[in-house]
Amino acid sequence: MKRCRKTEATMESSKKIALVAHLSKNADLQAWAKYSRDLLERHTLFATGTTVQVSELEFRITVHRLMSGPLGGDRQIGAIIAGEELDFLIFFRDPLELPPHDPDVKVLLRMAVEWNIPAACNPASADFMISSPLMERTFSGWYPTI
């Protein structure tokens, strides 16, 4: 199998962050976003359909709206990753229930791993990652190229 080469990439101090939550985890994301609002507002935010409504309405955080997850939102985030326009993924998944678009979820998480995107799938991981000193400065990592 052909392997990818890794090419250096730099994240700026203002990160591009995608926020996603499955329906049963919207309350968790809401609570986490409220707690982390001051940190989040320094960055550029993207969110899928329902998640964006929760974030904008409750906390007045401006986010770039993507499609709802079941209608292609996860794949849109994957495309943003492939376009080298995403630095960070916060995705509160429901581990107990498979959504109808589970294949899309798997692709998104696979892409986050492959593209070396920090991905937090629960509030504690998100807390540790958003409070990292690396969030406030440029960071040199790598991304895959064939």
Binding-site annotation, residues for substrate: 22, 48-51, 68-69, 101
Nearest-5° angle of CA 16, CA 108, CA 19?
Answer: 40
Asked if residue 6 lies in contact with residue 146, where contact means CB atoms within 8 angstroms, the answer is no
Active-site annotation holder among 38, 74, 87, 104: 74
Under rule CB under 6 A, residue 51 binds ligand 13P: yes
Name the segment binding ligand 13P (CB under 6 A); options: 20-28, 30-38, 117-125, 127-135.
20-28
Under rule CB under 6 A, residue 50 binds ligand 13P: yes
Name the segment binding ligand 13P (CB under 6 A); options: 57-65, 70-78, 111-119, 121-129.
70-78
Under rule CB under 6 A, residue 70 binds ligand 13P: yes
Between 49 and 123, CB nearer to ligand 13P: 49
Q: Is 27 helix (H, G, I), strand (E, B) or coil?
A: helix
Residue 33 half-sphere exposure, CB side, CA atoms within 13 Å?
A: 32
Q: β-strands 88-92, 119-120: how paired?
A: parallel
Active site annotation includes 87:
no
CA-based nearest residue to 121, from 28, 41, 38: 28
CA-based nearest residue to 90, from 30, 27, 31, 18: 18
Q: What is the dihedral of CA 17, 18, 24, 27, to 10 degrees?
A: 40
Between 11 and 115, CB nearer to ligand 13P: 115
Name the segment binding ligand 13P (CB under 6 A); options: 32-40, 45-53, 82-90, 113-121.
45-53
Catalytic residue annotation: 74
Residues engaged in binding ligand 13P (CB under 6 A) = 20, 22-23, 48-51, 68-70, 73-74, 99, 105
